[in-house]
Amino acid sequence: MTVISSPVSAQSMPDSTTVAQEKERLIPLDVLINGAAGGQWVLLDRNGVLYAPKEAFMEWRLALSPDPPVVEYRDQKWIALDSLPGYAAKFNFTNQSVELTFSPRAFTATRLTKDIATHPALTPTTPSAFLNYDVSYTDSSYQGAQGIRQFGALTELGLSAGIGVFTSSFVGQNLTNDSSTQPRSVHRLETVYTRDFLDTTTTLQLGDSSTRPSTWGRSVYFGGLQIGRNFALRPGFITQPIPVISGASSAPSTVELYVNDVLRQTSSVPSGPFTIDNFPLLTSSGTARVVVNDVLGRQTVIDQPFFTDTSLLEQGLTDWSAAIGAVRENLGIANADYGQRFASGLLRRGMSKLLTLEGQAEYGQTTRDIGLGIDYAMPFQALGKAAFSVSNDSDAGNGYEWLLGLENNGLHNNYTFQLQRASAGYRQIGLYMPFREQLSGSYSYTSDRYDTLGLGFARIDSYDSGLITTYSGNYTARIGIHDSLTFTASRVIGNSSGYSFVVSFLMPLDVRTNLSGNVTHIAGQTDAYVSASRNLTNDNGYGWRALAGTRAGQVYGEGGLYYQGDKGVLSSDVSASTTQQTMRLGALGGIVAMDGNLFMSRYLQDSYALVEVPGYANVGVGFQGSTLTHTDKNGMALLTQLQPYQRNSILLDPSELPISAELDSIEQSVVPAAHSGVKVVFPVRSGRGALIHIKLENGNDAPLGASIELMGDKEEFFVARRGEAFITGLKDNNTLRMKWNDTTCTFEVKLPPGDPNDIPRIGPVTCVAEPATNAKPAQSKGTQP
């Protein structure tokens, strides 16, 4: 074996005499490229320099310069291999092969990127109506005072169809009109029509909603029309910039990506430079470590810091919202109290991976304002914020506001800082008096043991109530594997000064059960309690809580018992102290009218599905590995908690289906719209099953492999050994047809009475041949044309 480096010397070839006589020759060779198979190629040796056709460079992923050195030989253009960086060649004339080696930068780059998030096909919405309710009854008695009994309800009425969703919510207080409390009242809260447009990723709302807040502003509750970009319509779509990790491999390699020392993904890359921008979704800063293991066992480690934040938009991405309407006032007190009419717009644009610009304008009857904000990824893995806004108000005159902020969310260290100032005349829609200055900052540290230390500071200087300053600190120590002890202290200085100190302890007993304790000292008074609780999960079941201690100098205790089923949640709570005893009963759930049926359900927060298993009652239905409900006597069930605009796999529990039931699949996928219902039907082939022994008219067993058709049924069955066939879907009386080769016969089967789940053995039955129907028709005689 001979090693030849660029340029290839003719005198170094094995047969030097022959090579010296031939200045140009074509050599067919098996080619290896940096250890990977490159195929069989004919290379040109010209004066000791190797050339390859342009097609080879493309297949080998070698990046050519704009004007590479080219020679012509036998009407074909050839390019010198030594024109690429890092070139070396190792010949093995025994097996007619050559191993070519190039620098990693000689190859075109490989990009590991995420698949573009696409909209799965939306399942047609089935029109439905629903009513969510949260009702409670409270009975309180007081020492030396009249007791209070109150019945209240919070409800939401909704209509869903393919054109959108309409909802209206109400709150009722003291519905029994007890004279010991406030007068009976019922008020409308929100009424809104919502329509999502998947193609443009926008949402239209007509009615009561909230405007999108800017970095420096606040949202405004209003009644009117709002339309804007809604990235939630594309689950899995990432709006923030994804860090790009770069590296290079000298041979085909496996690339392992570690984020903050945790393995996140493994990929395969060919030789050459590569970039990773299918980075796992993170909102923090840290260090990414790329470990490159090539086919020769060599390992290269690349460490690279990264930073990303949800406040930033990916380069070229635009987010926007526009609203027109009137400010909603006295929500929950008045049904329709609307104030200043206005129009507003918000626009955000990712100018680069580091810079996002934001602008907002509001124009009202008495108030106008406009502002500009900047989010910028700064050095040292920090996010900087800046904003400036000016306003004009008919009463307050002209004003301004500005904001500066800095924040970092790291693996161990986190800090925030923000300073915001406004003039006395500054106004926004829905803002009547700004603060003169708001200054806040925080710092937290998390150790490798997950102990945490936090410090906070805030100072608010208002135009009407003076200066208030708050200092706070907390420390959480891990005890053992899961337990924790937390110390918290705070100090308030201002018109009402004071301090507090809290010690709390948390001991998880299992996934759902916790034991905790708390001691609080505020303004010279100490309260303490211990509590235990068992939380509800998505599955049906019970939960409870119990607490005992002292509060405001009195012995105090409380407890609760909760049950969650597929029809809702029932709750009961009691509390007692020296001077007061309270009992509360509650119910939380929903009612759905869909496809001519009425269902009780859990509280509807997401989408839902009407699942039908015709003729089969008490069959478990669920998704994500949990059985959440069961079919009723008509084989129907309402399944809630589906995720909108993404695939939901609805599953039946096969153990709860009778053995005679046959389904093509126990799983179906649906993609519902938000707060809407879809219908899912699992076609079940019903009937009984039987093992039938079949004989022919000559007394022989039916032939192995013969097909059997149950008349009136599309299923096909086959004869097994000893002329036996297992047939399902049988009624009390059945006709079956058997076929093999060119022969057809029929037989009758009558099922014996018994349990539908029993499988009887029937036979032998005789299959009677059918008359031949394939005889050729007689041809008429006549004169040929």
**Rounded CA gap, 121 and 181, in Å?**
53
Higher pLDDT, 16 or 446: 446
Higher pLDDT, 548 or 47: 548
How open is the CA angle 309-314-317, to the nearest 5 degrees? Answer: 135
Higher pLDDT, 189 or 105: 189
Nearest to 520 by CA among 471, 553, 542, 492: 553
Nearest to 322 by CA among 299, 302, 346, 289: 346
Is 42:73 a contact under the CB 8 Å cutoff? no
Please say if the pLDDT value at position 480 is more than 90: no
pLDDT digits (tens, 9 = 90+) for 652-696: 988 888 766 777 788 899 999 999 999 999 887 777 888 999 999
Query: How many other CB atoms are there within 10 angstroms of residue 720's CB atom?
Result: 14
Rank 54-63, 252-261, 433-442 by mean pLDDT and report only the highest. 433-442
Instruction: Give the phi and the psi of residue 231 in degrees, each rounded to 5.
Output: -70, -15
Give the H or E element holding residue 57.
helix 54-59
Nearest to 385 by CA among 375, 377, 393: 375
pLDDT at 180: 67
Q: Which residues contact 138 (CB under 8 A, 6 or more apart)?
A: 148, 149, 150, 151, 152, 582, 583, 584
Beta-ladder partners of 388: 372, 402
Nearest to 584 by CA among 596, 574, 570: 574
Is 351:359 a contact under the CB 8 Å cutoff? no
At residue 507, the 3 state secondary structure works out as strand
How would residue 260 be classed by pLDDT, with cut points 50, 70 and 90?
Answer: confident
pLDDT at 105: 85
pLDDT at 660: 67
Percent of the chain beyond pLDDT 90?
49
Across the range 139-163, mean pLDDT stands at 89
Q: Give the fold, CATH level 3, of 688-769.
A: Immunoglobulin-like (2.60.40)
245-307 shares its CATH topology with 688-769: yes
At residue 387, the 3 state secondary structure works out as strand
- Helix, strand and coil content of the chain, in percent to the nearest 5, comes to 5, 60, 35
Q: Which CATH architecture has domain 245-307?
A: Sandwich (2.60)
Using CA atoms, how far residue 325 sits from 78, 191, 206, 376, 593, in Å, is 71, 14, 10, 33, 33
Please say if the pLDDT value at position 210 is more than 70: yes
Q: How is the chain split into domains, by residue range?
A: 2-108, 245-307, 605-684, 688-769
pLDDT at 3: 40
Across the range 120-133, mean pLDDT stands at 93
pLDDT at 456: 95
DSSP label at 17? H
pLDDT digits (tens, 9 = 90+) for 525-574: 899 999 999 999 888 899 999 999 998 888 999 999 999 988 999 999 99
Is 29:98 a contact under the CB 8 Å cutoff? yes
Q: Which residues contact 746 (CB under 8 A, 6 or more apart)?
A: 735, 736, 737, 738, 767, 768, 770
pLDDT at 182: 77
Nearest to 678 by CA among 688, 669, 690: 669
Higher pLDDT, 616 or 427: 427
pLDDT digits (tens, 9 = 90+) for 315-366: 999 999 999 999 999 988 889 899 999 999 999 999 999 999 999 999 999 9
DSSP label at 109? P
Please say if the pLDDT value at position 8 is more than 50: no
Spell out a b/e string for 213-250, using b for 16 or more CB atoms within 10 Å of the CB, else e: ebbbbeebebbbbbbbbbeebbeebbebbbbebebbbb
Please say if the pLDDT value at position 227 is more than 90: yes
How would residue 280 be classed by pLDDT, with cut points 50, 70 and 90?
Answer: low
Nearest to 224 by CA among 319, 322, 346: 322
Residue type at 434? Answer: P
pLDDT digits (tens, 9 = 90+) for 16-25: 344 444 478 8
* Torsion sign across C-alpha atoms 270, 274, 278, 279: positive
Across the range 272-289, mean pLDDT stands at 73
Which class does domain 605-684 fall in? mainly beta
Spell out a b/e string for 649-671, using b for 16 or more CB atoms within 10 Å of the CB, else e: ebbbeeebbeebbeeeeeebebb
pLDDT at 285: 72
Please say if the pLDDT value at position 784 is more than 80: no
At residue 451, the 3 state secondary structure works out as coil
Instruction: Give the phi and the psi of residue 626 in degrees, each rounded to 5.
Output: -120, 145
pLDDT digits (tens, 9 = 90+) for 735-749: 999 999 888 999 999
Please say if the pLDDT value at position 611 is more than 90: yes
Higher pLDDT, 507 or 756: 507
**Rounded CA gap, 241 and 317, in Å?**
10
DSSP structure string for 598-633: EEEES--SSEEEEEE-TT--S-EEEETTEEEEE--T
Using CA atoms, how far residue 720 sits from 487, 556, 673, 708, in Å, is 75, 75, 48, 11
Nearest to 186 by CA among 178, 174, 198: 174
Is 428:391 a contact under the CB 8 Å cutoff? yes
**Rounded CA gap, 310 and 418, in Å?**
17
Using CA atoms, how far residue 12 sits from 17, 44, 91, 93, in Å, is 10, 16, 11, 13
pLDDT at 728: 84
Across the range 3-32, mean pLDDT stands at 56
Please say if the pLDDT value at position 284 is more than 80: no
Mean of the per-residue pLDDT values of the chain: 87
**Rounded CA gap, 315 and 385, in Å?**
17
How open is the CA angle 500-505-510, to the nearest 5 degrees? Answer: 150
Please say if the pLDDT value at position 4 is more than 70: no
Place of tokens 């208030």: 468
Nearest to 49 by CA among 76, 79, 74, 29: 79
How would residue 399 be classed by pLDDT, with cut points 50, 70 and 90?
Answer: very high
Nearest to 97 by CA among 20, 33, 22: 33
How would residue 212 be classed by pLDDT, with cut points 50, 70 and 90?
Answer: very high
Please say if the pLDDT value at position 582 is more than 70: yes
pTM of the model: 0.78
Higher pLDDT, 148 or 677: 677
At residue 506, the 3 state secondary structure works out as strand
> Do the bridges between strand 626-630 and strand 435-446 make them parallel or antiparallel, or are there none, so unpaired?
unpaired
pLDDT at 278: 66
Counting every residue written for the chain, the total comes to: 785
Give the H or E element holding residue 63.
none
Which class does domain 2-108 fall in? alpha beta
**Rounded CA gap, 692 and 257, in Å?**
60
